């Protein structure tokens, strides 16, 4: 269980990422594969959230995970061990984001014929990943309570490209100056259609709501 | 008090950033200006830490602040109001880092003849800012407890380029699974010379140690 495949991602050769992302999205739709691109700051709890969600949905859909990181394979191993879900590690070689071609390099290492849902854990970064369309069916992000409710003001693009914002670490809300209503208002300013779900990956609170949101989206796809 | 100068930073024209950074560092040394480049994830508490440190050193050295952000002027205004220290806001126009030429564009808007210390608050990002030498005399970073003690494993370059790692939000340590000894060991793996100072920007704990570290460095410069 302790070993996962590590893919060294190469720099893209395509000049027009948006076109390439659109064509990847079309291919995935034809293959009936839903690709969720999950983004956040470092340390917001992406991996713990993934473990919680995978254990809720893995018996309902066939899911695989791609963990993008600059270095290491800690996350992919952790996910495989905690959930049994097929996980591969993508090494970006220092690159701060993934684009569609780089995402495709990861997907080529999965068996898409037997997969309904691929979750891509993007590089921990609120800036660059928002600028590059990965070809995902849907973008989601995690903002954690300790980061502060003002983040939509400071990282506008990230919030405007995400259909779903998970507010994580709700269990420590009493210890931080984080105003949920203010945060929701700032998110709405960036993206009127974004859905907000408060969660605690530690306690599991809110994870059923996230699972239902995801399963609904997949069934519509 | 509520208004600050906003500088729209332009893309650099220099191809060789390392050379440019070295020449900026030499110029600053000749002018007896110490430039501290402060980096971190989004939401690690850079601005609050700055307010604490500025109020401790502003009567000992002549200090100015450059706040780099993708958008907004919230931080520069907050710092000016809370400390009275001259602060300007640098807009990166979506760019995820500052290089030496971009830093110089900011410095051109300060009165360096009457400044001993400039603190640059870099864009909130653990990846890209580590790759670009700003020409700073010294690099420091903030890692906050909620982000986790494993960050030096996942963002190796950031930890290896920093002379000082401040561990912030020590006041919430009891609520998180953060092992200080393990974190220090991981930091040492990346940079054997890095100094680690635990702080709480909220309570002020550890800020005197940071102030002393900084004043010592400036006097050696």
Q: A75 vs A133, which has greater pLDDT?
A: A133
Q: Which residues of chain B lie closer than 8 angstroms to A41, CB-CB?
A: 41-43, 124, 147
pLDDT band at residue A101 using 50, 70 and 90 as cut-offs: very high
CA distances from B58 to B54, B65, B82, B138, B219 (A): 5, 11, 12, 19, 15
Q: Which tens digit of pLDDT belongs to each residue from A119-142?
A: 999 999 999 999 999 999 999 999
pLDDT number for residue A64: 97
pLDDT number for residue A1: 43
Number of helices (H) and strands (E) in chain A: give both, helices first: 8, 8
| Contact A74/B at CB under 8 A | yes
Dihedral Cα B9, B10, B12, B17, nearest 10 deg: 10
Decide if B154 and A96 are in contact by the 8 Å CB cutoff.
Answer: no
Look at phi and psi of residue A157 and say left if phi exceeds 0, alpha if psi is from -120 to 50, else beta. alpha
Decide if A43 and B156 are in contact by the 8 Å CB cutoff.
Answer: no
**Does the structure show a pLDDT above 80 at B155?**
yes
Pick the range with the lowest mean pLDDT from A42-51, B73-82, B202-211. B73-82
pLDDT band at residue A102 using 50, 70 and 90 as cut-offs: very high
Decide if A175 and B176 are in contact by the 8 Å CB cutoff.
Answer: no
pLDDT number for residue A93: 79
pLDDT band at residue B52 using 50, 70 and 90 as cut-offs: very high
Interface of A with B in 134-193 (CB under 8 A): 144, 146-148, 150-151, 153-157, 169, 171-172, 175-176
Q: Which tens digit of pLDDT belongs to each residue from B158-183?
A: 999 999 999 999 999 999 999 999 99
**Does the structure show a pLDDT above 50 at B25?**
yes
Q: Which residue has the tokens 């991602």?
A: A9
| Contact A42/B at CB under 8 A | yes
pLDDT number for residue A157: 94
**Does the structure show a pLDDT above 70 at B1?**
no
pLDDT band at residue A2 using 50, 70 and 90 as cut-offs: low
CB of B136 closer than 8 Å to CB of B45 = no
Decide if B42 and A128 are in contact by the 8 Å CB cutoff.
Answer: no
| Contact A128/B at CB under 8 A | yes
Q: Rounded distance, CA B11 to CA B92, Å?
A: 8
| Contact A43/B at CB under 8 A | yes
pLDDT number for residue A60: 97
**Does the structure show a pLDDT above 70 at A198?**
yes
Q: How far is A6 from chain B (nearest CA, A)?
A: 15
Pick the range with the lowest mean pLDDT from A24-38, A55-69, A198-212, B88-102. B88-102
**Does the structure show a pLDDT above 80 at A108?**
yes
| Contact B99/A at CB under 8 A | no
| Contact A123/B at CB under 8 A | yes
Q: Which tens digit of pLDDT belongs to each residue from A166-184?
A: 999 999 999 999 999 999 9
Decide if B144 and A43 are in contact by the 8 Å CB cutoff.
Answer: yes
Residues in chain B, total: 221
Average pLDDT value for chain A:
93
For chain A, give the percent of residues with pLDDT over 70: 98
CATH class of A15-220: alpha beta
| Contact A46/B at CB under 8 A | no
pTM above 0.80, yes or no: yes
First to last CA, chain B: 32
């Amino acid at each position: 269980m302790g070993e996962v495949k590590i893919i060294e991602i190469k720099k893209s050769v395509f000049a027009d990422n948006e076109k390439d992302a659109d064509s990847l999205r079309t291919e995935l739709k034809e293959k009936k594969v839903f690709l969720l691109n999950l983004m956040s700051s470092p340390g917001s709890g992406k991996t713990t959230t993934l473990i919680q969600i995978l254990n809720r949905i893995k018996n309902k859909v066939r899911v695989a995970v791609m963990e993008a990181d600059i270095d290491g394979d800690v996350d992919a191993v952790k996910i495989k061990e905690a959930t049994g879900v097929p996980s591969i590690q993508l090494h970006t070689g220092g690159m701060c984001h993934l684009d569609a071609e780089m995402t495709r390099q990861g997907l080529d290492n999965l068996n898409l014929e037997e997969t309904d849902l691929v979750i891509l854990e993007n590089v921990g970064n609120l800036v660059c990943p928002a600028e590059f369309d990965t070809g995902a069916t849907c973008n989601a992000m995690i903002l954690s309570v300790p980061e502060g409710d003002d983040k939509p003001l400071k990282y506008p693009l990230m919030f405007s490209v995400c259909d779903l914002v998970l507010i994580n670490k709700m269990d420590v809300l009493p210890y931080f100056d984080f105003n949920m209503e203010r945060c929701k208002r700032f998110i709405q300013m960036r993206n009127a259609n974004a859905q907000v779900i408060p969660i605690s990956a530690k306690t599991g609170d809110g994870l059923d709501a996230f699972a239902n949101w995801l399963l609904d989206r997949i069934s519509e796809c």
